[in-house]
Amino acid sequence: MPLRYGANPHQKPARHSLRVETPFQGVGWITYINLLDALNAYALVSELQEALQLPAAASFKHVSPAGAAVGLELNDVEKMCRSYVFIRRLYRVISPLRSRDCQNHFREVSDGVIAPGYSEEALEIDPTYNPGKLETRQVFGVSLQQNRNDAKITAELFSNIVSANKDLPREAVVDLIVATLALKYTQSNSVAYALRGPSLVLVQVNNHAYIALVLQSGVKYLAAPGGSVMDAECIKAADEHGIVFAHTSLRLFHH
């Protein structure tokens, strides 16, 4: 499938791959980055649904999530926030679960949408598609290959709580899963915040300097891979402020 252009308008011609069959069909003149956004958004939404058994959606901008969420009941404040136009300006490529929600998201310009369908005539993503185990990319004439990052994000990942405060409620675990999966598809190095109700969680903290910033944001739950030379200092700072801190032993760099 030919693409409108590559990462930049002067990078022509461009195409998606030499693969004969794809799990989707493009509608419109798609660019290289549009396709990267769409594929990453679809993968993130699929993993959110698998991990939490909840409706999920994600918004991508330049190959990183601008936001990700699961379908929990909104409170009154969240319903008010949802109506603000400036929030929608974050959305460029969004992967919503339900087609009826699409028209609510696109009062501002969006580069694309990837969904199971938006009308009876809409093209569907192949539900049987398997991306395979290996990923291959070519940079400056050199081909690189690695196993696809198929690490599963579940509640068990946050069971190693290294802080003195070990009270980790189910609501916070849901937030940690959402934040961790969003981070899995975010360009590294990054941190991810998630909020549901009064609890703010932060994933991927491995520097004592970040802890001070975390406290200013009201974060109550932290998760990080661990293994940093600053682990002890981070745990100490978390304990001083009653924060629940989990080590996952799982690094999720994405490039």
Task: Please list the residues that pair with 31 across neighbouring strands.
Answer: none
pLDDT tens-place string over residues 178-211: 999 998 988 877 888 888 755 566 666 545 556 6
Average of per-residue pLDDT across 214-232: 85
Check if the beta carbon of residue 79 is closer than 8 Å to that of residue 61: no
pLDDT tens-place string over residues 227-245: 888 889 889 988 988 999 9
Specify the higher pLDDT residue, 77 or 72: 72
pTM over 0.75: no
Confidence check: pLDDT of 10 > 60: yes
Angle at 70 between CA 166 and CA 176, to 5 degrees: 20
Average of per-residue pLDDT across 209-231: 80
How much is the pLDDT for 84?
Answer: 46
Res. 162 pLDDT band, cuts 50 70 90? very high
Check if the beta carbon of residue 114 is closer than 8 Å to that of residue 125: yes
> Which residues are CB-contacts of 163 (< 8 A; sequence separation ≥ 6)?
222, 235, 238, 239, 243, 244, 245, 246
Phi-psi category of 170—alpha, beta or left, where left has phi over 0 and alpha has psi -120 to 50?
Answer: alpha
Confidence check: pLDDT of 19 > 70: no
Percentage of the chain beyond pLDDT 90 is 18
Catalytic residues: 61-62, 189, 255
Residue 25, CA distances (Å) to 125, 170, 227 in order: 8, 39, 43
Question: Structural domains in the chain?
Answer: 2-120 (3.40.140.20), 155-247 (3.40.140.20)
Confidence check: pLDDT of 110 > 70: no
Strand 93-94 vs strand 64-70: parallel, antiparallel, or unpaired?
Answer: unpaired
Average of per-residue pLDDT across 147-164: 93
